[in-house]
Chains A and B, each alone.
Chain A
Amino acid sequence: MNPTDRRHPWSRLAAAARSAPDDRDPSAPFGFSTRVAALALSNNPPRSSFSMVFERLSWRALGVACVLMLASVAVSYPAIARTSDDEVTVRDPVAEVLELES
């Protein structure tokens, strides 16, 4: 099919459709640009390089803190375990006084 063949139904129909007037308003409806601008700028604000560096360092600091915590627990574990094995007797001064009186 030759698209420029004006005898073909599609070519004539397309030519007629092209001549249809379009009197719809091409300007933005009232409030459209305000709404879109507010929505667009409220979503995912771009971060500054400082905040990105700060975030990366913060994660690194958290990692280092976790490693240090685990290391300190590992180092002091024998001492903690020993303490929990020892019997701890709690002296109750009231009971002692009552025992003395009786």
Chain B
Amino acid sequence: MSDPTAFDLAGCLQRVRQRDQSAARELVDELYPLVIRIVRAHLPRQVAEEDLSQEIFMKMFTRLEQYQGAVPFSHWVSRIAVTTCIDHLRAQKRRPEFRWADLSEDEAGVLDAVLTNESDQTPDNALAARELVNKLLDQLNPSDRLVLQLLDLEQKTVAEIRALTGWNSSLIKVRAFRARRKLQKLFQELQRKEHS
């Protein structure tokens, strides 16, 4: 038996194409959790998540006539969200320098733990770790950052990233390699500074 509360996407899209405003509202409400998850994961500095979400939905409605149904609608919207985020990240001209002095006490503690502790233990302050990860990712170029975020934090496969970004597998692997190498250099530099 089918779920009566299941969202009728095809019907909703048809009504949106006929300029039905209530259908457009339903579509936004339905897709908002998907879009906000992507926005929060890739939110550039100094950009409000609501503004970015609105921009993504506006793009979605503008391009709705181009959607042919070749891929699931959620994938199509995710791709718009990811490319919009990356455009915003690219628009950020300068990346802030990563310095110990700018870290909060918790973040500095987490960084110290991961740099000095060789054992297989994760730092307990997960929220501080997440903030620290965001600051480290800010040091990367937008494309490399996106790949590392999707691979190492969201644990997506290369195939899923390919579907989200449209990049080929080799490019994704090269970007991941480049990003990890840059982070490794950054960690080595931090360790050197700490020891000196």
Contacts and interface: CB of A to CB of B under 8 A. Distances in A.
Contacts of A3: 151-152, 176, 180
Contact of A17 (B22, B65, B133, B151): B133
Q: Interface range on chain B: under 10, 10 to 19, 20 to 34, or 35 or more? A: 35 or more
| Residues of A in contact with B, size category | 35 or more
Interface string B17-51: 10101101111110011001100100000000010
Interface stretch (A25-33, A63-71, A87-95): A25-33
Interface string B46-84: 000010011001100110010000000000000000000
Nearest to B34: A26
Contacts, number: 123
B117 to A, nearest CB: 8
A100 B153 CA distance: 111
Interface string A1-39: 101001111111111111111101011110011111111
Contacts of B176: 3
Contacts of B37: 26
A43 interface: yes
Interface stretch (B2-10, B85-93, B181-189): B181-189
A24 B40 contact: yes
A26 to B, nearest CB: 4
Interface of B: 17, 19, 21-22, 24-29, 32-33, 36-37, 40, 50, 53-54, 57-58, 61-62, 65, 110-111, 114-115, 117-118, 120-127, 129-130, 132-133, 136, 151-153, 155, 176, 180-181, 183-184, 187
29 contacts: A1-B181, A3-B152, A3-B180, A7-B118, A9-B115, A10-B180, A10-B187, A12-B122, A13-B129, A15-B122, A17-B126, A19-B122, A19-B129, A20-B127, A20-B129, A21-B126, A26-B37, A27-B29, A27-B32, A28-B32, A32-B28, A33-B32, A34-B25, A36-B28, A36-B54, A37-B27, A38-B21, A43-B58, A46-B65
